[in-house]
C-alpha cells in the first residue's frame, strides 16, 4: 500500500467521520467545528488530486469565509444564554432509508459505468498558470458573470439581513 | 485495499452527497440545512476535480469547481441574510415552524 493510498484513506476517514458528526450531533457548535474538520480533509483530497490552487482556495474561502459566516449566523439566531444551542433531527428512519438507497444507487451507477481513465496526466505540474490562462481566455465570460453575481449577492444579502425600521 | 483510483474519489463524493442530503432532509435548524448544502457542493467539487485529474481534460474541471465555490459563497451569504430575516420575523430558525408567508 503506497503512501498515496494511506493519505487518501486517512483523509477519507476524517471527512466521513466528521461529516457524520455534522449531520448527527445535537450541539450546533459541534456541528460547525466538525464541518471545519471535514472541509480541511476535503482540501487534503484536492491536494491528492493535484489541485493545489483549489485546495488553498477551499481553505481560504470555505474555512475563512463561509464557516465564519455560518458561526455568526448560529450566534445571531440562537439564544446562547438560555442554552438552546441544541437541535433535533426529524424523520430519522425514513431519511436514513432514503439516503442509503440513494447513495447505494449512485455507487452502483458509478461501479457499472466504464469511465475513460487517463492515468498519466500530461504535464500538470503547476495548475495556477493553467487556471489563470483558462479563466482569462475560454472562461472569460463566466468569470465576469461570476463577479457580477458576487456583487449582486453581496448587496442582496446586506439588504435582506438589515432590520426593517419602517413600522 | 487496492490502489486508489477514480472510483475511490467518486465513492467518497457519493458518500458525502448522501450525508449532505441527510442533513437537508432531517435537520430542523435552518443553518444546519445550509451546512448540508455545503457538503453537497463539496461532494460535487470532489467529483469535478477527480474527473479533471483522471479524465485527461486539463484544468477545465478545476476552473468549473472555482465557479462552484463562487456560487457557494454567494448562496451562503444570501441564505444567511434570509435566515436572519426569518429570525427577526418569527424568533426561530426552525424550518418546521416557519409555515406562513407573513407573521
For residue A52, give the CATH number of its domain. Answer: 1.20.120.1200
Q: What average pLDDT does this structure show over A59-87?
A: 79
Q: What average pLDDT does this structure show over A71-95?
A: 75
Q: Is B87 on the interface with A (CB under 8 A)?
A: yes
Tens of pLDDT, residue by residue over A20-53, are 999 888 888 889 999 999 999 999 999 988 888 9
Interface of B with A in 52-81 (CB under 8 A): 52-56, 58-60, 62-63, 65-67, 69-78, 80-81
To the nearest whole Å, the CA of B100 is away from the closest chain A CA by 18
**What's the CA gap between A28 and A72, in Å, rounded?**
12
Nearest neighbour of B14 by CB, restricted to A28, A103, A153: A103
**A75 and A109 share a domain?**
yes
Tell me if A73 and B84 make a contact (CB, 8 A cut-off). yes
Are the C-beta atoms of B53 and A118 separated by less than 8 Å? no
**A75 and A149 share a domain?**
no
Residue of A82 and A107 predicted with greater confidence: A107
Q: What average pLDDT does this structure show over A123-139?
A: 83
Tell me, yes or no, whether A152 lies in a domain.
yes
A161 lies in which domain range?
123-167
Identify the residue among B34, B79, B81 best suited for mutation to test binding to A, counting A beta carbons within 10 A and taking the highest: B81
Rg of chain B over Cα atoms, rounded to whole angstroms, equals: 17
**What's the CA gap between B39 and A24, in Å, rounded?**
14
What's residue A120's pLDDT? 61
Tell me if B25 and A46 make a contact (CB, 8 A cut-off). no
Nearest neighbour of A31 by CB, restricted to B11, B35, B70: B35
**A128 and A107 share a domain?**
no
Mean pLDDT of chain A: 86
**A146 and A108 share a domain?**
no
Tens of pLDDT, residue by residue over B6-44, are 889 999 999 999 999 999 988 888 888 999 999 999 999
CB atoms within 10 A of CB A98: 16
Q: How far lies A155's CA from each of A109, A161, B83, B89, in Å?
A: 41, 10, 16, 21
Q: Report helix, strand or coil for B94.
A: strand
Q: Is B7 on the interface with A (CB under 8 A)?
A: yes
Tens of pLDDT, residue by residue over B45-84, are 999 999 888 887 778 888 999 999 999 999 999 998 888 8
Tell me, yes or no, whether A118 lies in a domain.
no
Are the C-beta atoms of B1 and A5 separated by less than 8 Å? yes
**A9 and A82 share a domain?**
yes
What's residue B19's pLDDT? 93
| Residue among A146, A25, A4 at smallest CA distance from B4 | A4
All three cell numbers of B11: 465513492
Tell me if A90 and B27 make a contact (CB, 8 A cut-off). yes
**A87 and A7 share a domain?**
yes
Q: Is A79 on the interface with B (CB under 8 A)?
A: no
Q: How confident is the model at residue A82 (pLDDT cuts 50, 70, 90)?
A: low
Tell me, yes or no, whether A33 lies in a domain.
yes
Q: Is B42 on the interface with A (CB under 8 A)?
A: yes
- Show Cβ contacts of residue A135 under 8 Å, excluding neighbours closer than 6 positions: A143, B63, B66
Tell me, yes or no, whether A104 lies in a domain.
yes
**A62 and A136 share a domain?**
no
**A31 and A91 share a domain?**
yes
Record the pTM: 0.89
Tens of pLDDT, residue by residue over A110-128, are 999 888 887 665 555 678 8
**What's the CA gap between B78 and B73, in Å, rounded?**
9
CB atoms within 10 A of CB A27: 13
All three cell numbers of A147: 463577479
Q: Number of folded domains in chain A?
A: 2
Tell me, yes or no, whether A60 lies in a domain.
yes
Amino acid at each position: 500500500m503506497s503512501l498515496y493510498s494511506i493519505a487518501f484513506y486517512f483523509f477519507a476517514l476524517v471527512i466521513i467521520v466528521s461529516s457524520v458528526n455534522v449531520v448527527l450531533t445535537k450541539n450546533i457548535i459541534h456541528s460547525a467545528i466538525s464541518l471545519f474538520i471535514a472541509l480541511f480533509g476535503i482540501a487534503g483530497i484536492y491536494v491528492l488530486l493535484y489541485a493545489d490552487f483549489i485546495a488553498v482556495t477551499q481553505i481560504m474561502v470555505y474555512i475563512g469565509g463561509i464557516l465564519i459566516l455560518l458561526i455568526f449566523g448560529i450566534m445571531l439566531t440562537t439564544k446562547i444564554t438560555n442554552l438552546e444551542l441544541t437541535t433535533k433531527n426529524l424523520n430519522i428512519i425514513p431519511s436514513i432509508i432514503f439516503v442509503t438507497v440513494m447513495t447505494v444507487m449512485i455507487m452502483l451507477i458509478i461501479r457499472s459505468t466504464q469511465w475513460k481513465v487517463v492515468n498519466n496526466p500530461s504535464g500538470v505540474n503547476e495548475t495556477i498558470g493553467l487556471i489563470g490562462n483558462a479563466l482569462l481566455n475560454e472562461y472569460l465570460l463566466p468569470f465576469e458573470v461570476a463577479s457580477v453575481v458576487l456583487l449582486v449577492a453581496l448587496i442582496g444579502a446586506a439588504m435582506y439581513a438589515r432590520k426593517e425600521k419602517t413600522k | 485495499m487496492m490502489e486508489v483510483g477514480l472510483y475511490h474519489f467518486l465513492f467518497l463524493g457519493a458518500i458525502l452527497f448522501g450525508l449532505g442530503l441527510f442533513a437537508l432532509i432531517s435537520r430542523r435548524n435552518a443553518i444546519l440545512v445550509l451546512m448540508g448544502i455545503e457538503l453537497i457542493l463539496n461532494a460535487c467539487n470532489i467529483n469535478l476535480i477527480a474527473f479533471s485529474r483522471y479524465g485527461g481534460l486539463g484544468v477545465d474541471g478545476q476552473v468549473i469547481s472555482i465557479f462552484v465555490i463562487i456560487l457557494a459563497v454567494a448562496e451562503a451569504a444570501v441564505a444567511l441574510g434570509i435566515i436572519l430575516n426569518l429570525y427577526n420575523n418569527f424568533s426561530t430558525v426552525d424550518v418546521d415552524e416557519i409555515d406562513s408567508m407573513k407573521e
